[in-house]
Structure 1
């Protein structure tokens, strides 16, 4: 069994490797008649692409997306939407002869499949997340009543943005890397999306964000702080939560996501000193995809 697909009614399948000729995805279940252009998708892809500054990977990928199917005269048709991005700046020689790298999925992939693609991590590379961002841009068209916005809250445990450049400079100078915490807030989600028990909205959000490369922790709402509080102290926070019983309440939904430090330190190749910096648009995309899927599920059951 291979797990490269995600979602129930709105189903995303991604394909491709970091150093292959291209990466792509198929988004199935999108409603028809939505206005969709490559320019709309590109706006979100440009927020995560590499090569845009000293604190991200210097790999020069324009990430120009092409819509291959599923639209006619600028509108979705209801058929599967195929998207493609060509890889134009791969340098596979950087990974020649490298043993399985600590902190990467190299050894795990080899244990599962009996072989691995050593070029930039293959499917385990953050390169794959470009297609999630592209699909998330389409998901936003389904949930136009909802605003999804993420931002970096901490880098290396430091909450003050004015100190981040110095911390990143020091990490690079020491061949080191830093983790990050990202907060994503969805506002305008109507009450009623989600389901009890096996399709909880918060459970699906957590699973979607944990599926992002390098993510090691998730908080929904108060998260772990709720486990340290008394009932009296946390009651007001619970009343303001965006999800109760697995179903949206109409209040803003907060998702906190922890990215581990980049494992590619002290080796060749081109890497992010803090992979979380480019993580915000990826988190937004996964949240948008889950919310769009649950909107369609809610409409299917409740009209």
Structure 2
């Protein structure tokens, strides 16, 4: 099949081929299952449309509904917009590859895609941390909440989440693509992610791997630990609430956020922090699908179906449209 042919073709290439000679890569994505091509195209098309529409609706209602003009929903609106950006970096190209069977991607486009994924992934880590901090202040220090989480602070926290990861991730992308690549230019993945790109690098990649671990600790591990600390204090406070109704409401709000946190951070941590010897193309693809596709798809369901304010705002919007 095409997958074997590409492998044979590139095995014939001389190992001396380096980055200056390499001008494009080949994204194999699902080339090893050509009989599932149209099924996968249909499935991922539906997933992409669902993600864009559902997150778009949440973004819209958090901006338009007066009842949702609070810090929690301000962060949720930004989070939904981020998910649309995040999934739009990978899925449209994968759909185009499935449709046209032209899997080549230029070196610049590959680096740009990787950089965007890393920057948006860092933003998601920071924004989830900000959302956990917001819940911590609201539940543990309710009297100080209006002062601590005022509009100016909310804007600064969101802006910081979007901007903080940019220098680190641009530097990391530049460092990875400054490596020499020899032999094959086949990327056994559906987008330009770090593990499959590093597999194509020749020579010593120790420095690159160490920098990836450091970046992953700073951007993934530390925010995750801060979220766990916030929620340990939140749970401790909630358990002391006298009213069972208030306890149930607090747990409902927090459990939605925690579910998203574990889905995203779990798959991202395993992808970037597990030993190189444990990396396999199939596992990398599966894990990447979780943090780039599954999480953005389930976020609106997790937040809207478990949140009475969001469902009420959605019902109000639908009634307006139908009137």
TM class by smaller structure: under 0.3
Which one has more relative contact order, counting CA pairs under 8 Å at least 6 apart? 2
Structure (1 or 2) with the larger CA radius of gyration: 2
TM-score for both structures, normalised by structure 1? 0.28
> What's the TM-score once normalised by structure 2's chain length?
0.26
More strand by share: 1
